Structure 1
Amino acid sequence: MTRPNPIVPTVDFDAEGVQHGFLRLPYSRDDSAWGSVMIPVTVVKNGEGPTALLTGANHGDEYEGPIALMNLARSLSPDQVTGRVIIVPAMNYPAFLAGTRTSPIDRGNMNRSFPGRPDGTVTEKIADFFQRVLLPMADVVLDFHSGGRTLDFLPFCAAHVLPDKRQDAEAFRLVRAFGAPWSVRMLEIDAVGMYDSAAEEMGKVFVTTELGGAGTASATSAGIARRGVRNLLVAAGILRGEVEAGETRWLDMPDGDCFTFAEDGGLIEFLFDLGDRIERGQAVARIWPTGRTGADPVELAARRSGLLAARHVPGLVKPGDCVAVIAVEVDG
């Protein structure tokens, strides 16, 4: 028999109106023997209709999603909604409070922990609750991401190319409606255990973002997130109103040649900025050795032509770090 998940919601997901509460996860620790992790949640429901599940801080050092979803949770009223909106501004709440990508409790990466375990670590228990309780309720899932403390992205909304073409088409329709400056056909380099895959395998329409990064949110990136989530809810038939039109340009990440990795550690010097065009074979960046002067840098060559869509942020890199992502501009 499958063990029940220990998380106790303080909201009723089927009740009409607005509820602000918590997903309470018992967590016994040195400073609180009968303590809990209290994950904020808002539910807005009005009659019958589709359900949107909106999440931020899947990685705790990514801030556009929490900003947009805190704002939405405060301002959304039932008379604006047909159906239900479930808002979890900080999915990996311990990581969010610590400002880290992974949980300070168990080092768990939420986006590599699905389907989770009800008797596992804190991160696995949260993943299991989403897998077995929240995702089955949802029709549409929007999971906000940005580059965190180690990457910076062109601000884009994205979905994955899927075998189910109905699911695929609806996801990209909502990507277009989101209205980020860039829209991407997404390729993952490490998809095992992802929230994305868990939702898509259930047949849910899944949309995600990368809206900047560098360990902060700008006025521009937060504004894109706030406008985009409302656009998506309108396009999904859940929120009354009109989509606020905005121009978007489309990018594709067709294969592994989009990614450039460091094989050496050192001081990184980028030779292009985000949005610049790079030709195959050109040096994207140089890595200078830090142990001595007078030594030549190592140059990192682009393996395909395209636009610089993401770059490593800290000035020092380690072997194995992804230092650049090059995407190809395509027709929408």
Structure 2
Amino acid sequence: MSVNKNIVVRHPKQLTPEWAQTIIGQFSPSAKVSAVDIQSVNLGTTTRLQVYVEHDATDILPREWFVKTPSLLLKSRLITALPRLLHKEVQFYKALADSSPVRVPEVLAAQTRFGRGSTLVMANLTAAGYRPGQTSDALTLLQASQVVEHLAQFHAHYWHNTGLLDQHSWLSGFNASAENHLGSLLAVPLMQRGLKLAGADIPAALHKPALFYAANRRRIMHELAAAPLTLVHHDCHPGNLFWTDSGPGFLDWQLVRMGEGISDIAYFLATALKPELRRDNEQALLALYLQTLTQLGIGDLDEVKLYQRYRAHLSYPFEAMVVTLAIGNMMEDGSNRELIRRAAAAVADHDSFAALGYRAVSD
């Protein structure tokens, strides 16, 4: 995956045979590329392209590639540029993916160039025999259990490893500060717009608490980070999963960071399950997470405290989905609204904003 020559592109027209030759040449200097065919282009926080590369080294590399480049949408590009989200994903694949205990896509090339952006090239999941998840998928109990176990394994692997922040500055520093500052600065207007656009998808009783959350976001983010830290995915919804015969894999590591492990569980259960299935199995899934961590040697875990932190962390997937709707063009609208409805049900079920001080401040 180490690429010395420039492979960073900013527009689909730059995906030429010469560009593909640069990547393949790192694996097989004698291999030849004869054509590159862009089969699909999807725009969101990044530009995502399905590409067919005609070459003669199929014993080494696949012909079907998945490419991520900076978004062609100006609004999305501006929002993701300051915190350098694609750069963070590139760094994850280059520095941590090989040692990760969970399955991630096969990366063929990953590179960042200052001032030019980042490009990530992966093997196409479908061509490799995997099933990419869809954002609005409603997972079964078996699938949910598998994801919870895998997240516990991932969190246990990095538990209390704060040295990661010293080893990998891209996990903290300016990128993280810029992301937090931008999120807090825009929280109120984006929440207001998102609530208006969501309409009946969000019960009216949640509007005032949600605006309280937005107005106090900086404090709340600080409180939600005040816990034992591990590496977290931070965007674990159904569209960022893929499936194999032996269980799930995890995609889209743009928001990876040090955080509290239960935050990933809250994000996942709030977005991936129909409310009825979540309600019926939530406690069992939380118990599975706790049990798996314990079996992996993570001690001093309190079941009551874990639930309280879970309850509080449900606020973030709600915010994330509402803000996604407010910004627009970052997720398919129907899928976005379905995840809003699921997350809204979760925060209502657990009175999550009260866990963040809403009643104490507002009543």
**Normalised by the size of structure 1, how large is the TM-score?**
0.28
- The higher-RCO structure (CA 8 Å, 6+ apart) is 2
**Normalised by the size of structure 2, how large is the TM-score?**
0.27
1 or 2, which has the higher helix percentage?
2
